[in-house]
Chain A
Amino acid sequence: MGSPIPEKVRKRRAISENPTASQSSSEGDFDAVVEEIQAEARRRRESGEYPAAFERELDALFEDLVPERLREHDFEAVLDRAERASLIDLHAPVDDERRAYAQVKRGVQKLILWYMDYVVRQLATFAASTTRAVRLLGNRVEAIDERQTALARRLPEVGDVGDLLPRDHHTVESWSDGAVALLSGVSGRILHAEAGDGGVVKRLLDAGADAYGVDPEAAEDSLELRAQGALEHLGVVGEGALGGLLLSGITDRAPTEAKIRLAQVAGEVLAPGGRVVLLGNDPEHWAERVPAALADLAPGRPFHADTWRLLLERSGFDGVDVRTGPETGTYLVTATRG
């Protein structure tokens, strides 16, 4: 491997022009010299004057020192390595301080070169065809990957569901006293996702807690309330970085996979002993309130409180407690990170 740098980064390299400063008048000169140098190096390599095996040995020396993880995850680098290894150097070193030995080696090399050349050509063709096939396969996988990413971009994202369904402020309002009471005593930072207009965050701050919120539709973008999606933000929060987590909104609207992921991430970002408080709607009650067409078109619909209980327990939470508000058809689930 010539470089430990992943392909993603290599693609980012750019040769750019400086719009502000002049270029040296000798630039053209040096470009021609560089071309000459690189062509000459190529020629010497092809003629055997520069032994290909030597560069391979140097690459291999460094490759042995590269952390294992780095080597195995860079598809292009692994292929490059395989391709380099498929070049077989026919010219074995024949130098020897003892002249007679050197002559014998040269003689043997001459004698068997025609035979070795015949075998090596077949081996090299086989190796080159194999790596070529793997590279083509890699290209096809990459193309599928790109198509899938493009397709995912066209699908409504979790944050876009708000376009279909009216935002539910009712649930948060009806449980805000309970949520503040449960979270204001925790140690560490508290995150409210999705925080709406930041009402609960403000109450937590007033209670002396270190709280902030995220919401994709936040009108402002400040330290206390950031304009960001819940999962997008949780993806960059460090492991065990939070003491408390209040989840609302996304808990009802997100597709099933996103909600399962939400429970997992909650287990990751909360420190041991940290508390999660989750607000949601009872699905039957929700279906009665929401127009049928919107309910059918929504990518996600609310879970039963017991489903969250199951998901949280699977994500390492203890002491799951469910409180229901029969009049409002909403619930609060709270649990402690084990």
Chain B
Amino acid sequence: MGRALHQLVPSLRVGDAVGGHTLRVRDALRDLDLESEIFVENSHPAVAAETRHIDDYVEYTRTSGAQLAGVMYQLAVGANTAELFFALSEPKIVDYHNITPPEYFSGWDDYEAMRTRVGRTQMERLGRRCDLALGDSSYNVADLTEHGYACPTEVVPILLDLSAFDREVDERALARLERAKGDGGSDWLFVGRFAPNKCQHDLLKAFAAYRRTHDPRARLHLAGSEGPTRYVKALHRLAADAGVGGAVTFHTGVPSGVLSALYRAADVFVCLSEHEGFCIPLLEAMHHRVPVVAFAAAAVPETLGGAGLLLTDKRPLTVAHAVDRLLTDAGLRARMVAAGRERLADFSLDRTRARLVEALAPVLNGSPGR
């Protein structure tokens, strides 16, 4: 009789970091000769064929004939899926991608604050019943431990495949960005959901300071998925009031080809975020040889691994000065790009898959820790 380790995830979407990770975890498990399916509440039509509905989990596992080695829950939001996971009796593995503390949304989007509060409550409850907990970063693992997870915990970075960026580049978008460069000025880039914890407002302030003190022709590209409407409106207004409205482009819901073009055209990646469970865009910037200036908060220092300028002060003029130093010191830039490539190797799919298999060994060998 074969063995199985299935995954539960509230939703599976194309281009979503957790979605990509879930698919790669499934592939890694299948390579271990385990039966592995992904059960979801809902999925994007493009990946619907890769999933089964969550309501079918109990019946499927009962009739499939495979012995259940465990079940893994991809935890990134509050969802009903957690309630099913909680009630299952097979060894349980939580794979935690962090849930933004609700305080960041309170006042900006009370519904989002409520959702994240529910998610964090579920995260705490799951800690009482799980046998193994994985986190993308030691920051995430510390969050679990702080919230009462007594089971064994392991750091397993998110399973990423950045090579897609090399295959998909929107040439027209890239040409447009290159044309704009003809007028002079550098291109700043930040990629991340438009949300208060990502602090795009601090980026706008730093960019305004940079335009005033160093480069009046600079441009800022903010790319990411839509966040709280009130916050997004405040960002547009702030850009206008700070006199940089014409130099800032808000790119929402961009296809991966356009994102690739943005990275290729960028001179510097600036991240002033205050809460990140991992921060994949830092690695994407390294992949595109874009030097990084970042604020030292949450998991950012850990993911960056020393391959960027890590500021402990993000006041506008300090950030502006850091970017100027980076863009005017070719030697520094070259060393940083090289350090980025070196750091990137730590997150190669081969290494992270091996790390995942190593971390799962106690459950697969039938000796979970609880």
A positions within 8 Å CB-CB of B? 2-6, 8-10, 12-31, 33-34, 37-38, 40-42, 44-45, 50, 54-55, 58-59, 61-62, 65-70, 221-223, 227, 236, 238
Contact assessment for B302 and A3 in the assembled complex, using a CB-CB cutoff below 8 Å: no
Looking at the assembled complex, report how far the CB atom of A253 sits from the nearest CB atom of chain B, in whole angstroms: 24
B32 within 8 A of A: no
- Please list the 4 inter-chain residue pairs (A to B) with the smallest Cβ-Cβ separation, ordered nearest first: A27-B306, A70-B107, A21-B346, A67-B107
B205 within 8 A of A: yes
B364 contacts across to A, CB distance below 8 A? none
B positions within 8 Å CB-CB of A? 83, 86-87, 101, 103-104, 106-108, 114, 121, 128-129, 137-139, 142, 155-157, 196-197, 199, 201-202, 204-205, 208-209, 212-213, 230, 234, 237-238, 241-242, 274-275, 296-299, 301-303, 305-318, 321-322, 325, 332, 335-336, 338-340, 342-343, 346-347, 355
- Give the nearest-CB partner of A223 in chain B: B87
- Find A223's partner among B86, B142, B314, B346 (CB 8 Å cutoff): B86
Looking at the assembled complex, report how far the CB atom of B46 sits from the nearest CB atom of chain A, in whole angstroms: 31
Looking at the assembled complex, report how far the CB atom of B211 sits from the nearest CB atom of chain A, in whole angstroms: 11
- Additional A-B contacts beyond A6-B103, A55-B315, A69-B106 (20; CB < 8 A): A5-B104, A5-B274, A8-B103, A14-B139, A16-B138, A16-B142, A21-B305, A22-B346, A23-B343, A24-B306, A24-B342, A30-B309, A30-B339, A33-B309, A33-B325, A41-B317, A41-B318, A41-B321, A44-B317, A62-B238
Looking at the assembled complex, report how far the CB atom of B102 sits from the nearest CB atom of chain A, in whole angstroms: 9
Q: How far is the CA of A28 from the CA of B307 in the complex (A)?
A: 10
- Find B305's partner among A4, A14, A23 (CB 8 Å cutoff): A23
A20 contacts across to B, CB distance below 8 A? 138, 155-157, 346, 355
Q: How far is the CA of A208 from the CA of B199 in the complex (A)?
A: 49
Q: How far is the CA of A65 from the CA of B83 in the complex (A)?
A: 38
- Find A37's partner among B298, B322, B339 (CB 8 Å cutoff): B322
Contact assessment for A59 and B205 in the assembled complex, using a CB-CB cutoff below 8 Å: yes
Contact assessment for B316 and A55 in the assembled complex, using a CB-CB cutoff below 8 Å: yes
Contact assessment for A9 and B86 in the assembled complex, using a CB-CB cutoff below 8 Å: no
Contact assessment for B121 and A55 in the assembled complex, using a CB-CB cutoff below 8 Å: no
Q: How far is the CA of A286 from the CA of B208 in the complex (A)?
A: 72
Contact assessment for A29 and B335 in the assembled complex, using a CB-CB cutoff below 8 Å: yes
Looking at the assembled complex, report how far the CB atom of B215 sits from the nearest CB atom of chain A, in whole angstroms: 15
B208 contacts across to A, CB distance below 8 A? 58
Q: How far is the CA of A71 from the CA of B266 in the complex (A)?
A: 34
Q: How far is the CA of A228 from the CA of B312 in the complex (A)?
A: 41
Given A20-B157, A24-B305, A38:B313 Cβ within 8 A: yes
Contact assessment for A222 and B87 in the assembled complex, using a CB-CB cutoff below 8 Å: yes
Given A14-B298, A19-B138, A33-B309, A58:B157 Cβ within 8 A: no
Q: How far is the CA of A27 from the CA of B340 in the complex (A)?
A: 10
B321 contacts across to A, CB distance below 8 A? 37, 40-41, 44
B336 contacts across to A, CB distance below 8 A? 26, 30
Contact assessment for A58 and B242 in the assembled complex, using a CB-CB cutoff below 8 Å: yes
